Amino acid sequence: MAIRPILTVPDPFLKQVSKPVDAVDDELRGLMDDMLETMYDAPGIGLAAIQIGVPLRVIVMDLAGQDEERQPRFFVNPEFTWKSDELFKYEEGCLSVPEIYDEIERPARVRLTYLNYDGERVEEEAEGLFAVCIQHEYDHLEGVLFIDKLSRLKRDRAVAKVKKLTRDAA
């Protein structure tokens, strides 16, 4: 396993639409292991492959609390089959937009299908933080960031702040 650098805005790579995975094999599991380690190191609760520069439809997630045992989850080629009309507002952040947080409204519950770490097809329903996170990560696969859902002014400010932050860190 290895920790990989996380791309931040305004890297144009983050706007790319990721491609479906052909097969869940050992090479892909190696990528998922790296993604998980990178996410834990950041630390974050979700990461899409495009955030480490790999344009494949792969997401890793762990929603366990700080004092809880780790609960890593893997989503390959996720698709939503249903979204609730009911909405839910949550203050989101993103490892590709560090130190920026803002409220985003999304469907409160979703149903999705995906392949897991072993390549098995899973169908399940998500609500609460799980629903927020899977929709946020799915957006990454489509080249969409949570700040794209904010006003242009807020988005421009966020990008400028991250640019300064990464410049100061360099």
Q: Which stretch binds Ni ion (CB under 5 A): 60-68, 89-97, 104-112, 113-121?
A: 89-97
Phi, psi of 86 (to 5 degrees): -65, 135
- For the bound state, the minimum distance from the C-beta of residue 123 to Ni ion, rounded and expressed in Å, comes to 24
Report the residue closest to Ni ion, judged by CB: 94
Q: Which stretch binds Ni ion (CB under 5 A): 19-27, 73-81, 92-100, 122-130?
A: 92-100
Active site residue 137: yes
d(Cα 51, Cα 141) in Å, to the nearest integer? 9
Closest CB to Ni ion among residues 119, 128:
128
- For the bound state, the minimum distance from the C-beta of residue 137 to Ni ion, rounded and expressed in Å, comes to 7
Q: Which of 27, 86, 105, 137 is catalytic?
A: 137
In one letter, which amino acid is 152? R
In one letter, which amino acid is 78? P
The pair of structure tokens assigned to 13 is 């790579």
Size of the site for Ni ion (CB under 5 A): 1
Binding status of residue 132 toward Ni ion by CB under 5 A: no
Closest CB to Ni ion among residues 26, 74:
74
In one letter, which amino acid is 45? I
Residues 85-90: contacts with CB under 8 Å, at least 24 apart: 88/128, 88/131, 88/132, 90/129, 90/132
Closest CB to Ni ion among residues 115, 140:
140
In this structure, is the dihedral angle defined by the CA atoms of residues 111, 115, 118 and 123, taken in order, positive or negative? positive
Q: Which stretch binds Ni ion (CB under 5 A): 61-69, 77-85, 88-96, 161-169?
A: 88-96
Query: Are the CB atoms for 125 and 88 separated by under 8 Å?
Result: no
Closest CB to Ni ion among residues 25, 41:
41
Residues 6+ apart with CB under 8 A from 59: 46, 47, 48, 49, 74, 75, 78, 134, 137, 138, 140, 141
Binding status of residue 94 toward Ni ion by CB under 5 A: yes
Residues that bind Ni ion (CB under 5 A): 94
Residues that are catalytic: 137
